[in-house]
Amino acid sequence: MNKRILLPTDYSKNALNAIRYALELYRDVQCDFYVLNVFQVSTYTLDNMMVPEPGEQFYDTAKRNSEEGMAKLMEMIKLGPDNPKHRFHTICTFNSLTEAVKSIIAKQDIDIIVMGTKGASSPKVKIFGTNTVALMEKIKDCPIIAVPEGYFYTVPKEIVFPTDYKSDYKRKELHYLIEIAKLHDSKINVVHIDKNKDGKLSHKEETNKQLLQDILDGTDYEIHFLPAVNIADGINIFIEGKDCDMITFLNRKHLFFGSILSNPLVKEIGYDPKIPILELNDN
């Protein structure tokens, strides 16, 4: 069965860059790409009791602009090398981004979302941009790869997976990490930063570590231990030292975090990612 990948776009350079990243990441995989543009009507809001209808001037203009933008985007994509393994489907819809994505995931059985990030003035959303944050917080059915602005595709040979071993792991949670690693012969670098400074793990942490190793068995992985440092500094130094190409984290929405921005790992790594981030879910 073809892999089904959702590519949200606002027709920016940033979004095009993320699409190109997805095409390269899955170059050797049979894929159906669903390219989504969500349009809205300036005189209406989705909370408004008045919903624009097809045939109304503002709605038709917004729809036409969306469809014209999509046509231009597809022409740009076709300028790249032809890949017979890839098929494209375009969707232009009036909706909120989150609701549109939820609907497409359900209807098309989407496997993964790949989208670009945007710089933003607010430090709370600088991490990925408001749209990416919204999807990471509300989409629970599939993982998201966030591609930083201006990042050019590099084969993800070194993937970093920070962990505190505080919670156990499930094979299905790590499926997409393992899949990408096997697809590109990547090394998974499991990084544990010791906050206790003594290097010792509790019985529960040891059990979780062993479980993680069992799940990663069959992949090229390495366990790393970093002495107690600031987590953000430690991870970023590790990324630079190993020349890592992707960072992965597990966002357990129903356990600890009401918001991705309250996820301790995300907060401490910082709000300005330099490499693509694979956010996994505990669906």
- Quick one: 70 and 198 in the same domain? no
Mean pLDDT over the full length of the chain: 84
- Quick one: 7 and 122 in the same domain? yes
Residue 38 within a domain:
yes
Residue 170 within a domain:
yes
- Quick one: 139 and 13 in the same domain? yes
Residue 228: which domain range? Answer: 158-276
Contact criterion met (CB below 8 Å) for 142 and 128 = no
Residue 47 within a domain:
yes
Pairwise CA distance, residues 8 & 24, whole Å:
17
Where a domain ends, among 85, 120, 147? 147
Q: Could you tell me the CATH number of the domain that includes residue 32?
A: 3.40.50.620
Cα→Cα distances 279→109, 132, 159, Å:
18, 11, 13
- Quick one: 127 and 168 in the same domain? no
- Quick one: 96 and 206 in the same domain? no
Between residues 80 and 126, which one has the greater pLDDT?
80
pTM listed for this prediction: 0.87
Q: Which pLDDT value is given to residue 163?
A: 86
In this model, does residue 203 exceed pLDDT 50? yes
Residue 153 within a domain:
no
Distance of CA 90 to the CA centre of its chain: 20
In the chain, the number of structural domains is 2
Query: pLDDT grade, residue 139 (50/70/90)?
Result: confident
- Quick one: 141 and 19 in the same domain? yes
Query: pLDDT grade, residue 202 (50/70/90)?
Result: confident
Where a domain ends, among 115, 147, 179? 147
Residue 281 within a domain:
no
pLDDT mean over 198-218: 91
CA torsion through residues 41, 47, 49, 53, sign = positive
Residue 24 within a domain:
yes
**pLDDT digits 0-9 by tens, 62-75:** 899 999 999 999 99
Where a domain ends, among 94, 123, 147? 147
- Quick one: 75 and 189 in the same domain? no
Query: pLDDT grade, residue 226 (50/70/90)?
Result: confident
pLDDT mean over 176-186: 97
- Quick one: 29 and 110 in the same domain? yes
In this model, does residue 119 exceed pLDDT 50? no
Q: Phi and psi at residue 280, in whole multiples of 5°?
A: -100, 150
Q: Phi and psi at residue 15, in whole multiples of 5°?
A: -70, -40
